[in-house]
Chain A
């Protein structure tokens, strides 16, 4: 394989690995911009991945799977919402609970249903999303550089990949240009201002939490219906936490979230490619170091050594009317 081809392959798999991160990261963005901290992204991805795989397997349809994934993720999002918005519970504690609940339930139910150590049977045919070939991609493959990029990196993904990118555009647009977006930005910074303006703080936060559920649902469905073609216990493997890191890195904004997730996806792709590769003079490449990079970078960012990451001011605190 030529160097360019190798680059394209890395880039292509980087995009694939970035997609679940991006969904989860945008989910976190919606939730946290409204003032609800969400460390339960991991759990929602996981439960969505399971529900999607199970439903898709049962009904022989990836679309039914997607719907089930989204529904399961929304259900978990609503538990979080009820705990932290209505009951004013601790947002971190609730997030931890969501993660554990998802890890336990998916493996438990998966095992009870399929008896394969928690996995679902492999998904085939209509049960999973197939890559789409964008118009003109086959012809473009012959054109050097631009054509090949189009054919191999831009084209050839399943529909959810394009939905993820659309979600970035939509998130950015809605937050900046719409009434809902304005209110949402406001409620994450100063809920009292929103309340006195005659807008329901509770309603806005529930809406944001549900949107986060939808996005995590799609991210989870992508994992089981596209990337792995089955559900495996704990298949999210920390993606929800990397998404959290990406969210901090992107300073809670949509397009930076896109670029950060892409970068983290690429890092992951590089690490996978370099597994076991011996570079002359260096020895075996420490792939764990590359995989740990997002976490390390986030800590450094949080420490304020490279810029400052300031979360929405009201995030993490329940809204209580002051006397």
Chain B
């Protein structure tokens, strides 16, 4: 921005938000590398990038949740210092968080007022906030009962409360972090209509997402982030999903996995009309049916949070099921068999989605993590005791054959890198020659070299006749590895395809809940 703008009529108005050289490190991780960004007033500006590209960190800096190590933030052309959310709010920035920042036992009104109470006593402020909610309700169609308890509201309405919080505080710049992750397609469309109205009234909207469909549908400009860097900012009209995808991923890395055609064997895992309900009573998996044969990889695709995790945990025996049947080989898994321990002994092994919370015990020595789930096995026993020698020896062998570095069975589990931790989990599960292998997010947070290794292992396992169910939010991974893909949305299966007969576009539509007929 040049300082000469003042007297010179009114050329281009100052950008609503401008970031210059924003840099942020968390220890070893360089989350934002000298990021520049210009967001025009009254625009809907998309920011896309893969998981971990640095989008959320950048927006957390804008909102004052973290302070940047270097760089400058300008609002309406003026440099501002934002060290805390309070200062962001004062600068006219409002944020709709991906994980709502709501106080569930309080009412909508209380939540909206929190931090903007308008006086030491609530009464006057409450009257004003109520009127303001009324106005926003009529103006934008954001109807809501101010006295409802937030925790009782459905997710879509909770998001509305988040949005109302920002609007009541008079935000000019609205940042929405993955707002559609929790919405149904209709709710998402409603949200997009609303964002257009807000933009037309001069508000600036920043939309963070990794869904290209949304970017194309609603934004006017789009910026792409990759590994902490801002790699491009384009007019949406001048770009295409293909170009954006390429920018997001960078050079396409080895997503072509060498594999021959699948040689299908017997049906190993059959799921019929499975329904899983969470602790709150909300159905997470609804009436899901599919099968996995020996010698094939079946992928489960879907945006995270659409029931895949619950499906995986139910199949592994970690969650009760509310309805339907699971058949392993020729045995129906009744309630008495629904225990991870029992299923493991029957040849159903499980590489869990979250290796740090489930797959391993971070404070344990690696060799102790390497027997998680198998500590009762005969081979680790020495009389009534655990044989430490056997455990260490076994881990050493696994570390060698899976190239885990460093090959130190006594090192604390948390000291290994993500890729090496994942190899340790894989080694543990695969080495037991499973009949059925459940795999969740096998390459999340794993470096490139390890990804390749893990993919090759899974294919080799398939070729050896194992039935593999692969749950992944990385569409590329599904396309590269799976022979068949089941797509989930909102807990239901929205489609099943052979990967050789579909493409990412079609799967993307199914993931977004567009019905099969329409697709």
State the A residues within 8 Å of B (CB): 177-183, 185-186, 189-190, 192-199, 313, 321, 323
Contact = CB atoms under 8 A, between A and B. Distances in A.
B115 A197 contact: yes
A192 B101 contact: yes
Contact of A178 (B57, B84, B121): B121
Max chain B CB contacts within 10 Å: which of A192, A194, A198, A321?
A198
Nearest to B86: A198
Given A186-B103, A189-B103, A198-B85, 12 more contacts: A178-B120, A179-B122, A182-B110, A182-B114, A186-B114, A189-B104, A194-B103, A194-B115, A196-B101, A198-B87, A199-B115, A323-B26
Chain A, interface SS category: helix
Contacts, number: 80
Nearest to B26: A323
A192 B85 CA distance: 11
Contacts of B464: none
A189 B106 CA distance: 9
B105 interface: yes
Given A177-B122, A178-B120, A198 B103 contact: no
A145 to B, nearest CB: 39
B154 to A, nearest CB: 18
B95 interface: yes
Interface string B106-128: 10001101111101111101000
Interface of B: 26, 57, 63, 65-66, 84-90, 95, 97, 101-106, 110-111, 113-117, 119-123, 125, 165
B479 to A, nearest CB: 30
B61 to A, nearest CB: 12
B175 to A, nearest CB: 11
A196 B105 contact: no
30 contacts: A177-B122, A179-B117, A179-B119, A181-B122, A182-B110, A182-B114, A182-B117, A185-B103, A185-B105, A189-B106, A190-B101, A190-B104, A192-B101, A193-B101, A193-B103, A193-B111, A194-B103, A195-B85, A196-B63, A196-B65, A196-B95, A196-B97, A196-B101, A197-B85, A197-B116, A198-B87, A198-B88, A198-B115, A199-B86, A323-B26
B114 A189 contact: no
Contact of B122 (A182, A192, A194): A182
Contacts of A180: 120
A179 B122 CA distance: 6
A197 B114 contact: yes
Contacts of B89: 197-198
B253 to A, nearest CB: 25
B122 to A, nearest CB: 6
B122 A193 contact: no
Contacts of A313: 104-105
Max chain A CB contacts within 10 Å: which of B87, B89, B122?
B122
A182 B119 CA distance: 12
A196 B120 contact: no
Contacts of A198: 84-90, 115
A321 B84 CA distance: 12
B457 to A, nearest CB: 30
A218 B230 CA distance: 59
Contacts of B57: 323
